[in-house]
Structure 1
């Protein structure tokens, strides 16, 4: 079992996928798998994924979707293959800091958490977003769940 499985849905991601996958295969957390789902792209997304899998066969698993299911459907398709203790979700136009999954994994293990999350940086607007109020730690009740899911738009990364 891997420590973390990272799922990346990709649809016509020619311009962004190489950078995304580069940031994932170079994570400091070594016990990681990256599952990339081609969501019926019409560009060279599949070829980019294939090259990455050939270069990093111990880390990268690719799936060629037969029809466009959207990001959620592609993620669900990948969940069947995920072997990680934790699941991370990254969009194909995102990239992550080199230690992100190592730090998230350590935090999850340290507190015996089921879910960990982090802030993100929006490159287009040069803004960082982080909201980690103490009132949101601990057992997730209905009030915390509402605050957690309604307070943010995740455009960089989320880890479970």
Structure 2
């Protein structure tokens, strides 16, 4: 039996696994969930047939953004990850106080002697687009990166 014959007989065909949809992920997280978040992103990226080098970059991005949520954004965040035809879209939101200069943060590397402040610079280096929105409800960082290409420094 094929599709129409199965439906006429009341048999539902097995769902098709589309690698792009296998990548769709929404997950809340806190500090105690960072390992689970990383494992979920890895599993979904593998299911979405994302190349290993791209997964490595994606995990760095997710790690930096999630760490920022824990350290600066109120400790509770939400990750959304999806794939378009050629890109991965990773969005991390929190309910923290926001970022003073969201358009400028991470554009210039911090001095080597600085104790921190490299996270968003790293995120910008590994992506093709970073959008940071801050308002009274918190901060949302949306990162776009190509599925098959690893971008170089900007």
| Fold shared per TM-score above 0.5 | no
Q: Normalized per residue, which structure has more strand?
A: 2
TM-score, length basis structure 1: 0.28
Higher RCO (Cα < 8 Å, 6 or more apart) = 1
Q: Quick check: which has more Rg, 1 or 2? A: 2
